[in-house]
Amino acid sequence: MPTDIPRLQAALTSEDSSEREDVVDALGESRRPRAVELLRLALEDADEDVREAAVDALAEIGGETAVRLLEQALADQDESIRQTAEQILTQLRDQIRPRAKRGLP
């Protein structure tokens, strides 16, 4: 699987949903901020496995934009994706709260 973002972006348009899912996994593993914007597209994929992988990838990357996208995933048509997004948001918020109390970024 390619690791550079432009090649991953191109692969997101594959007709093969398992290939798109692999691309989303690679984007999450890259942990690059640019990947978050591509994961926004994956959250709109017709295949629920791709959308679920996007939610998991956003959790790996984290950050404010990822949190906003996860909040949008709470409205997904698939209940399991909504539940996963809710669990991840809870975990991310729990991680953020102690850091904020200590004044850490």
Residue-by-residue pLDDT tens, the chain, 105 positions: 445 778 888 899 999 999 999 999 999 999 888 899 999 999 999 999 999 999 999 999 988 899 999 999 999 999 999 999 999 999 887 776 655 555 655
Q: What are the extents of the domains in the chain?
A: 5-101
Confidence (pLDDT) at 44 = 96
Query: Where does 5-101 sit in CATH, by number?
Result: 1.25.10.10
DSSP the chain: ---SHHHHHHHTT-S-HHHHHHHHHHHHHHT-HHHHHHHHHHTT-SSHHHHHHHHHHHHHH-SHHHHHHHHHHTT-SSHHHHHHHHHHHHHHHHHHHHHHHTT--
